[in-house]
Amino acid sequence: MKITWKDFSIDFSNIDKNKLIADWIWLLGNDKEPIIISSIGDMFLHDRNGKIYWLNVGEGLLDLVSDNIADFKIKLKDDSQVDEWFMIGLVQQIKESGLELVDSKLYGYKKLPIIGGDYIPNNFELTDLEVHFSLAGQIHKQIKNLPNGTKVNFKVVD
């Protein structure tokens, strides 16, 4: 099965960028803007100084990955780096399982890795972009100060 850049990134040009990051401001601050969204549900952002950050949604981590866009583009040519950021093998397995991307959707976690979800195809489902980032941001904010191994229960209310 042939895999292309369209399998690893999501077009979000028709979505309000501020909505996508609203529930992550506690981690991102107010000076970052999304530039790439991976099909696996992570986000790359730049700040007003041109630095590039990777928001790892599964783990709830924000990492500085490049000091400028030129360096970031070079890193995007490194196969091992791209595999780490975009999980190429996993995306291919998800596609082979029959899950195909459609407009405004990405491969979202059924259960976030930070709370015990696995990086396996059956832990992913098609999820609306805004819903994915909003729910994950809210969950991470609520559990960010808990010690590792703490049992958590979630209650969904209407």
Extents of the domains making up the chain: 5-143
End-to-end Cα separation, the chain, in angstroms:
41
Give the SS3 label for residue 35. Answer: strand
Residues of the chain with pLDDT under 50: none
Instruction: Render 98-133 in DSSP notation, one character per residue.
Output: T----TTEEEEESS-GGGT--SSGGGEEEEEHHHHH
Residue 147: predicted pLDDT: 66
